[in-house]
C-alpha cells in the first residue's frame, strides 16, 4: 500500500494484460482466418490432398475460427464484467448465505465449507455459460461436417457424469489444499508443490483405469495381423506393453486418434475411427505407433514430466511469496484473505508468466515431435508414418493452410508439411490409394450419423 493509502491496482493490471493478450491472439487468428479463405492449394500439398478435401477443410477451419472468435469475445467480456463488478467477492459472500440457509449456525469461521460452496457455485456458472457454445460446436459445426456422433441424451449424460467425477475428486482435493495452505507456514511453497505432485501422479494412476472407462468403452484389440504387428513392434523396443485396447470414440465423434498410457503397466489405445479409416492399411497404424513409442524410447514423457514439475515448483515458490498479500485481495474487492481466493487471484496475476512458459513448452513439444518422427524413420517407417499423417489430416479435416505465426504460437505439433519435409517423404514413394477411407460426401456422412443416432 502506498504512502497515501492507495492500493496497487492488481485488478486493473490483470484486466489490461488479458485485453492486450486477447488482442494479440486475435491478430494471429485473423491471419489464420485469411488463409482459410484462400481457394488455392499450396504447391507442396498437390499430389497429397484431394482438391475436394482441401476445400472442405478450408470451410471447416473457417467456421471453427469464427466460432472461436465469438466464444473468446464472450468469455473476455464476461471476465471483464466479473472483474469490475466484483463478481468473485459477491459469490464469496453468497456462499456464506447459502451455508447459513442450509444451517443457520454456520458463520465465516467455517471457511472450508464456504470454500466448497464457493467452488461449487463457480463450477455451475462455468457450466451454464459454456453449454450454449458446446451445443453449437457439436450439433451445428461438427454435425455439418459429418463429425458429430453425440446425441442429446449422451450430451446430458456426459455433463452430469462430468459433474459427479469433478465433485468426487475435487472435494477431497479442495479440502486437502485448504489444509496445506492453512498449515504451510514459511514452507508453504514446498508443501504446496508436494501436494500437487502427489495429486498429479494420483490422477495419472486412476484416469486410465477408473475415470476414462466411465465415459468410453475399452475393448481388447482382436487377434490378427495388426495386433501381432503391434506386439512385435513393442517387443523389438522392449516396451513393457500389457494391453492393446480399442476405444469407442465414434460414440461422440468421427475424429480419430491413438495414444499410450500407464505409469507402470503400459497400454496402447486405438480409436475405432482410426481402425475404420485405416482399414486395409495396418502399416499406417504401425507407423503412428512407432512414432508414439519413439516418445517413450527417447524419454520424452519423463523429460516433459520433469519440466512440468520444475515449472510447478517455481510457481509454488511464487505463490508462497504472494499468498498473504493483503493489497492483492483488496484490489479485487475482498475485505478478508480466504485461502482459495488467494490461489485464484495468484493464478490471474501469474497469467503473463504462464503465457511465456506456454510458448517454451510448445517449442519443446515440436522439437520432440520431430525427434519421434526421426525415430520412426530410423525404424523404417518413413513412408508409413507419412501416409498416416496425410490420412489423419484428410479424415480429420485438419488445417491444410496454416499461417506460420499462428502455428508457431498456438500449436504443440509442427505442421504436416513441416513433418513430411523433415522425414524426407515424397508423394511418389507413398501409397495414397484410398487414403480418404470413406467416399461419403459431407452431407452423406451427416445423414448416416443422424440415422445411426435414431437407431441408438
SS (H, E, C) 64-104: HHHHHHHHHHHHHHHHHHHHHCCHHHHHHHHHHHHHHHHCC
Rounded to the nearest 5 degrees, what angle is found at the Cα of 54, between the Cα atoms of 444 and 37? 110
**In this model, does residue 81 exceed pLDDT 80?**
yes
- What is the per-residue pLDDT across 40-77, written as a single tens digit (0 to 9) for each? 998 888 888 899 999 999 999 999 999 999 999 999 99
Q: What is the pLDDT of residue 450?
A: 46
- Candidates 280, 272, 222; CA nearest to 252 is 272
Residues in CB range of 261: below 8 A, 6 or more apart: 207, 208, 267, 269
A 10 A CB-CB count for 430 gives 19
Residues with catalytic roles: 292, 373
Looking at residue 4, its pLDDT comes to 57
pLDDT score for 260 = 86
What pLDDT score was predicted for residue 7? 79
Beta strands in 358-416 (DSSP E): none
Q: How confident is the model at residue 438 (pLDDT cuts 50, 70, 90)?
A: very low
Is residue 264 predicted with pLDDT exceeding 80?
no
Tell me what the mean pLDDT of segment 210-218 comes to. Answer: 91
Phi, psi of 137 (to 5 degrees): -65, -45
Is the pLDDT reported for residue 281 higher than 80? yes
Pairing of strands 266-271, 241-247: parallel
| Residue-averaged pLDDT of the chain | 89
Any idea which residue has 470451410 for its cell? Answer: 59
pLDDT of residue 448: 44
270 forms beta bridges with 246, 258
Distance in angstroms (rounded) separating the CA atoms of residues 424 and 386: 9
The predicted pLDDT at position 183 comes to 92
Mind giving me the DSSP string for 406-421? HHHHH-SS--HHHHHH
Residue 441, pLDDT > 60, answer no
Question: Cell numbers at residue 77, please?
Answer: 467480456
Sheet (strand 218-220) strand order = 218-220, 241-247, 266-271, 258-261
CA atoms within 13 A on the CB side of 289: 28
Query: How do residues 229-248 score in pLDDT, each as one tens digit?
Result: 999 999 999 999 989 999 99
Spatial separation of the C-alpha atoms in residues 18 and 26, rounded to whole Å:
12
| Alpha carbons 293 and 240: distance in angstroms, whole number | 11
Cell 505439433 maps to which residue?
413
From residue 180, how far is each of 16, 74, 117, 328 by CA, in Å? 32, 35, 19, 20
| pLDDT the model gives residue 208 | 85
Query: How confident is the model at residue 449, as a pLDDT?
Result: 43
- At residue 437, the pLDDT reads 41
Amino acid at each position: 500500500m502506498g504512502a497515501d493509502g492507495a492500493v496497487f491496482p492488481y485488478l486493473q493490471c490483470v484486466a489490461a494484460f488479458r485485453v492486450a493478450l486477447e488482442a494479440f491472439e486475435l491478430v494471429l487468428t485473423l491471419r489464420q482466418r485469411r488463409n482459410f479463405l484462400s481457394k488455392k492449394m499450396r504447391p507442396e500439398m498437390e499430389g497429397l490432398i484431394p482438391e475436394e478435401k482441401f476445400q472442405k477443410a478450408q470451410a471447416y477451419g473457417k467456421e471453427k475460427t469464427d466460432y472461436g472468435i465469438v466464444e473468446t469475445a464472450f468469455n473476455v467480456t464476461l471476465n471483464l464484467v466479473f472483474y469490475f463488478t466484483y463478481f468473485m467477492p459477491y459469490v464469496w459472500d453468497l456462499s456464506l448465505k447459502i451455508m447459513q440457509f442450509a444451517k443457520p449456525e454456520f458463520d465465516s469461521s467455517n471457511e472450508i465449507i464456504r470454500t466448497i460452496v464457493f467452488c461449487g457455485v463457480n463450477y455451475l456458472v462455468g457450466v451454464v455459460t459454456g453449454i450454449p457454445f458446446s451445443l453449437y460446436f457439436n450439433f451445428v459445426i461438427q454435425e455439418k461436417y459429418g463429425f458429430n456422433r453425440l446425441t442429446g441424451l449422451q450430451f446430458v449424460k456426459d455433463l452430469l457424469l462430468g459433474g459427479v467425477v469433478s465433485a468426487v475428486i475435487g472435494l477431497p482435493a479442495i479440502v486437502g489444499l485448504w489444509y496445506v495452505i492453512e498449515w504451510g507456514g514459511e514452507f508453504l511453497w514446498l508443501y504446496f508443490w508436494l501436494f500437487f505432485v502427489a495429486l498429479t501422479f494420483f490422477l495419472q494412476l486412476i484416469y486410465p483405469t477408473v475415470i476414462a472407462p466411465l465415459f468410453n468403452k475399452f475393448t481388447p484389440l482382436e487377434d490378427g495381423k495388426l495386433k501381432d504387428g503391434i506386439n512385435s513392434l513393442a517387443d523389438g523396443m522392449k516396451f513393457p506393453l500389457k494391453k492393446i485396447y480399442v476405444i469407442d470414440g465414434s460414440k461422440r465423434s468421427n475424429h480419430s486418434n491413438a495414444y499410450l498410457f500407464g505409469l507402470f503397466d503400459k497400454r496402447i489405445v486405438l480409436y475405432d475411427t482410426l481402425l475404420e479409416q485405416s482399414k486395409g492399411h495396418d502399416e499406417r497404424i504401425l507407423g503412428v505407433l512407432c512414432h508414439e513409442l519413439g516418445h517413450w524410447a527417447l524419454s520424452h514423457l519423463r523429460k516433459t514430466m520433469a519440466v512440468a514439475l520444475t515449472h510447478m515448483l517455481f510457481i509454488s515458490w511464487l505463490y508462497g511469496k504472494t499468498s498473504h498479500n493483503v493489497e492483492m485481495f483488496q484490489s479485487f474487492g475482498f475485505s478478508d484473505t480466504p485461502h482459495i481466493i488467494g490461489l485464484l487471484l495468484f493464478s490471474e496475476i501469474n497469467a503473463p508468466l504462464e503465457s511465456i512458459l506456454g510458448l517454451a513448452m510448445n517449442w519443446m513439444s515440436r522439437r520432440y515431435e520431430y525427434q519421434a518422427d526421426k525415430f520412426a524413420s530410423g525404424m523404417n517407417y518413413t513412408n508409413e508414418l507419412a501416409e498416416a499423417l496425410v490420412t489423419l489430416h484428410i479424415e480429420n479435416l485438419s488445417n491444410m493452410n496454416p499461417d506460420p505465426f499462428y502455428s508457431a504460437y498456438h500449436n504443440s505439433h509442427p505442421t504436416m508439411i513441416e513433418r513430411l519435409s523433415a522425414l524426407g517423404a515424397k508423394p511418389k514413394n507413398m501409397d495414397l490409394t484410398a487414403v480418404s477411407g470413406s467416399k461419403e460426401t459431407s452431407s452423406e456422412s451427416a445423414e448416416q450419423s443422424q440415422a445411426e443416432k435414431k437407431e441408438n
